[in-house]
């Protein structure tokens, strides 16, 4: 039996929702922005599916790595003798518009998260959980789902592994993807050259932007799989309405 965590919500169906309105609205805006960014991002890669390190990189140079896929430009030697249609116009426009949505949503979420204590209460590892044993227990709990402690699969609160992953996504991966993305803008780089120089150059920034984006996509896939395992509609409903309905019955069938 695992130690029960002290959670703010002690009873179901009380006034305090599982997720606050700010968390729910910013969550779905982020979903919208991230899907647009990921899809257009991969489409943009097709116009030059080669990656480099340092300041410069082009087809006259040896890439760090490249993808053996057809390109949407006939100037890229892919080995395929056909060229994909150019989707960069709308992809770029949607990518940047979605990036604005993501950044503005992130600012609202970040301010509200600190002001309301959301980060401290719901995401920072709780006292008594800041040990390797706690991580190990949480991992076992997530895998087996038979410990009977509701908070360990997200119905009432998050375990220490979930908290750490969410903090990493919110405070490391999202800032990193925004930073590396901004470092690809020639106008931004003129105003703030430090952003690109510290990454080792423009092509390094592009390669890092690609990898950080991939990590966020991996997070998205794992996140959705975990939600499906925990009860897709109950978790999704909680993130839409804020309420956890019949959580107890579902947790202990």
Partner 1 sequence: MSPISRRKLIAGGAITAAGVAGLAAADRIARRHGLIPPDSGGLYGPGETLTYAAQRVMGKHALAREFPRGMISKAPFMNEVAPPTDAFKKQQAAGFRDWRLVVDGMVEHPLTLSVADLQALARRNQITEVVCEEGWSYVAEWIGTPLSAVLQEAGTLPQVRYIVYRSIQSDWWESIDMADALHPQTFLTWGMNDGDLPVGFGGPLRMRVPRQLGYKSVKYITHLTATDSMKKFGKGLGSASPEGGYAWYAGI
1 is a contact residue toward partner 1 (CB under 8 A) = no
* Cβ nearer to partner 1, comparing 35 with 56: 56
Cα(26)–Cα(107) distance, rounded to whole angstroms?
10
131 is a contact residue toward partner 1 (CB under 8 A) = no
215 is a contact residue toward partner 1 (CB under 8 A) = no
* Near partner 1 by CB under 8 A: residue from 38, 39, 83, 94: 94
Taking residue 97's Cβ as centre, other Cβ atoms within 10 Å add up to 14
Taking phi over 0 as left and psi of -120 to 50 as alpha, with beta for the rest, 11 belongs to: beta
Query: What letter does residue 44 receive in the DSSP assignment?
Result: H
100 is a contact residue toward partner 1 (CB under 8 A) = yes
CB 110 within 8 A of CB 23: no
65 is a contact residue toward partner 1 (CB under 8 A) = no
For CA atoms 6, 9, 11, 12, give the dihedral sign. Answer: negative
85 is a contact residue toward partner 1 (CB under 8 A) = no
14 is a contact residue toward partner 1 (CB under 8 A) = no
User: Residue with structure tokens 């990898």?
Assistant: 211
x/- letters, 136..175, toward partner 1 (CB under 8 A): ----------------------------------------
Shortest Å, Cβ 214 to partner 1: 16
**DSSP 3-state assignment of 65?**
strand
Which whole-number Å values give the CA distances from 60 to 51, 70, 75, 157, 195, in the listed order? 13, 18, 11, 53, 26
74 is a contact residue toward partner 1 (CB under 8 A) = yes
User: Residue with structure tokens 């929702």?
Assistant: 17
Question: Nearest to residue 222, comparing CAs of 176, 154, 171?
Answer: 154
Shortest Å, Cβ 187 to partner 1: 3
79 is a contact residue toward partner 1 (CB under 8 A) = no
Residues in the interface with partner 1 (CB under 8 A) total: 41
Burial of 147 (0-12, 13-18, 19+ CB in 10 A): middle
Of 27-35, 52-60, 221-229, 234-242, the window that binds partner 1 (rule: CB under 8 A) is: 52-60
* Near partner 1 by CB under 8 A: residue from 61, 172, 198, 218: 61
* Near partner 1 by CB under 8 A: residue from 68, 133, 146, 187: 187
Cα(122)–Cα(120) distance, rounded to whole angstroms?
6
Of 5-13, 187-195, 220-228, 245-253, the window that binds partner 1 (rule: CB under 8 A) is: 187-195
CA-only gyration radius of the chain, Å: 21
The number of residues making up the chain comes to 253
134 is a contact residue toward partner 1 (CB under 8 A) = no
Which residues in this chain contact partner 1 in the complex, by CB under 8 A?
44-45, 47-48, 50, 55-61, 73-75, 88-90, 92-94, 96-100, 184-193, 196-197, 202-203, 206
């Amino acid at each position: 039996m695992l130690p029960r965590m002290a959670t703010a919500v002690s009873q179901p169906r009380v006034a305090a929702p599982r997720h606050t309105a700010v968390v729910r609205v910013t969550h779905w805006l982020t979903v919208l922005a991230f899907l647009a960014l990921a899809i257009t991002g991969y489409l943009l890669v097709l116009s030059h599916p080669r990656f480099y390190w340092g300041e410069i990189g082009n087809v006259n140079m040896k890439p760090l790595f490249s993808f053996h896929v057809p390109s949407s430009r006939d100037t890229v030697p892919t080995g395929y003798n056909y060229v994909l249609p150019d989707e960069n116009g709308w992809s770029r426009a949607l990518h940047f518009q979605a990036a604005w949505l993501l950044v503005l949503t992130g600012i609202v979420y970040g301010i509200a998260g600190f002001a309301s204590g959301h980060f401290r209460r719901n995401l920072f590892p709780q006292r008594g959980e800041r040990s390797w044993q706690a991580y190990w227990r949480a991992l076992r709990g997530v895998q087996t789902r038979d410990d009977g402690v509701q908070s360990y699969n997200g119905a009432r609160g998050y375990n220490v592994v979930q908290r750490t992953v969410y903090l990493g996504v919110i405070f490391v991966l999202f800032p990193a993807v925004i930073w590396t993305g901004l470092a690809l803008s020639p106008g931004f780089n003129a105003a703030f050259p430090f952003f690109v120089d510290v990454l080792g150059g423009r092509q390094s920034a592009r390669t890092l932007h690609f990898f950080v984006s991939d990590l966020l996509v991996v997070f998205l896939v794992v996140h959705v799989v975990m939600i499906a395992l925990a009860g897709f509609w109950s978790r999704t409903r909680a993130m839409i309405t804020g309420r956890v309905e019949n959580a107890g019955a579902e947790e202990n069938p």
